[in-house]
Structure 1
């Protein structure tokens, strides 16, 4: 298990230059926006406008903070993403635009290169985390939308809002987690090349 602290996340402009993101994790570590296999980030959306396109990439987005936003999809469908909403999965190939429902929003994004990985993102409580993390063949990421305490191997660890736990395949899950907040879980499965 690895702990990624929010203060260590890399801040950078969006690919389209119209906002800021906190990059939590990118793989491979030396990759960039054009050649990553997967990328987890927090986006700060201060104004209405288009999302960056990422050809060959699948995306999921979940609301962390704010009143929410309406995403306009290329099929003409508008999808509202609000507090408590399930994350929305969509293709990075699509031209998607957003409209904030209030002031700025903060959202969680996972992107996976379709030929290399597939992912799921769920919002829930600790039961969701335990259900996801017990799968030993996947990498599981848990992003906390508040404070939490973990007891692992006899050591007590405090987590703060937007900190991330990374469970790699084969990690021991003999731990106790106490949290009074939502937890977003992301599972990453490698695509098998033939």
Structure 2
């Protein structure tokens, strides 16, 4: 009888260790995926600083103003949101240029396309920073902020030149997390500069 008790105790002791090993293996796999995604993204954007989030399956749609319909693009694959090592433009007395904007983006969205070699990318900038550096919008277009909203199954992102993109993320939990992160990125305080 004492042999059975000992055997039950030893199996009870092994169970947490086995679970702990599985968690460690799962974390190791996640770390590997993050490192791999970081390395791939750094080939497209040398200013990547930190991977914030990624989801394995996203499809990009673009809103057509003329037809008022969503058009599916040829972009689908892994989508990553990341922090960029940005550069504040020097005060030259002239309005910031398009290149200044490219250097100023604090965050980036990059879709690693499974359909062809061309990837989708979109720079993101907190709206307080946009209003500070581009008080009349980029090229005086009067688009004073980027916007993100959740509509049914699409995360809708409006950029600084007026283009509207729909991000369809397969996993609902991933969709909500990505939406909340994008919302944070656009509403982040300008004190980071």
- For Structure 1 versus Structure 2, the TM-score category normalised by the shorter chain is under 0.3
Higher helix share: 2
Q: TM-score, normalised by structure 2?
A: 0.27
Higher strand share: 1
Could you say which structure has the larger radius of gyration?
A: 2
